[in-house]
Amino acid sequence: MKKTLFLLILVIFIITIGQNKAFASVKVIKKGNLLIGNATRFSNRTILNLFNHYWANKSKLRKQKAEKLYFWIVNADYNTITHPASCFANVMVAWFFKQNTKYIIKRKGNGFYYAIVDNYKVNLFTKKYSDAEKILTGKKYLGFYFSKILLKKGKTRMRSCNHPFLYTHKEMDILLMPMLIKANYY
């Protein structure tokens, strides 16, 4: 049931982002409390290493809190736009609250809501109670990281992402891996 709900949220997320391509498979990384949906062409081990690289210089308590409360959806791919014709490399990371977490919603003096989730205080950065409930039930993402770069071949921009060399492991490592290393997981 939980896997089905996770995959349903993943499909809704991908539709709302407006991706033109459907993903053949979404790989799920589950290790202890950690839960990541991997919609990239990279292996689960690579995504897990990048996640650990991000948290290496953060406190252990913050990492434990993040692993306990959130799940992430990671996507890295190429996207062609028609006007003006160009090819972009995209990296997206969104994080949601895990299901079945107990929470209490409270309001600050400035009108923004925050929640107490499993004895952790979490800022929700919204002034609408309905949005706070959607965030806490996993219907809306809590945070979103998006990076996009225009791909060029020499000094001219690429007009299409149909070039076979874009999908080789070497080119993916050169173009997409640095963007994934910089991806924000919190």
Q: How confident is the model at residue 20 (pLDDT cuts 50, 70, 90)?
A: very low
Same-domain pairing of 81 and 120 = no
Residues 86, 145 within the same domain? yes
Mean pLDDT within 144-157:
88
3-class secondary structure, 78: strand
CB neighbours of 9 closer than 8 A, spacing ≥ 6? 96, 138, 139
Q: Do 91 and 156 fall into the same domain?
A: yes
Q: Which of 8-17, 87-96, 137-146, 167-176 has the lowest mean pLDDT?
A: 8-17
Q: Between 97 and 7, whose confidence is greater? A: 97
- In the β-sheet with 27-31, what is the strand arrangement from edge to edge? 27-31, 34-38, 70-82, 85-97, 143-150
Is 108 in the same domain as 158?
Answer: no
In angstroms, rounded to a whole number, what is the distance separating the alpha carbons of residues 29 and 34?
A: 7
Which residue type occupies 170? K
- 186 assigned to some structural domain: no
Higher pLDDT, 166 or 55: 55
User: What pLDDT score was predicted for residue 18?
Assistant: 44
In-domain check, residue 118: yes
Q: What is the CATH number of the domain that holds 153?
A: 3.30.565
């081990």: which residue's tokens?
45
3-class secondary-structure state, position 42 = coil
The average pLDDT across 177-183 equals: 92
| Closest to 20 measured CA to CA, from 91, 81, 93, 74 | 81
Q: What residues make up the domain containing 68?
A: 2-98+141-181
* DSSP annotation of 94: E
Whether pLDDT at 8 is above 70: no
Q: Which residue intervals of 23-128 are DSSP H helices?
A: 44-55, 60-69
User: What's the confidence (pLDDT) of residue 23?
Assistant: 41
Q: Would you place residue 87 in the very low, low, confident or very high pLDDT band (cuts 50, 70, 90)?
A: very high
- Which tens digits make up the pLDDT trace of 29-43? 999 999 999 999 899
Using 50, 70 and 90 to split pLDDT, how confident is the model at 24? very low
**3-class DSSP state of 74:** strand
Distance CA 74, CA 120 (A): 24
Same-domain status, 124 and 51: no
One domain for residues 76 and 149: yes
CA 3 – CA 9 distance, rounded (Å): 10
For residue 126, is it left (φ>0), alpha (ψ between -120 and 50) or beta? beta
Looking at the structure, tell me whether residues 16 and 55 fall in a common domain: yes
Evaluate whether 138 touches 97 at the Cβ level (below 8 Å): yes
- pTM, 2 dp: 0.77
Q: Are residues 177 and 161 in the same domain?
A: yes
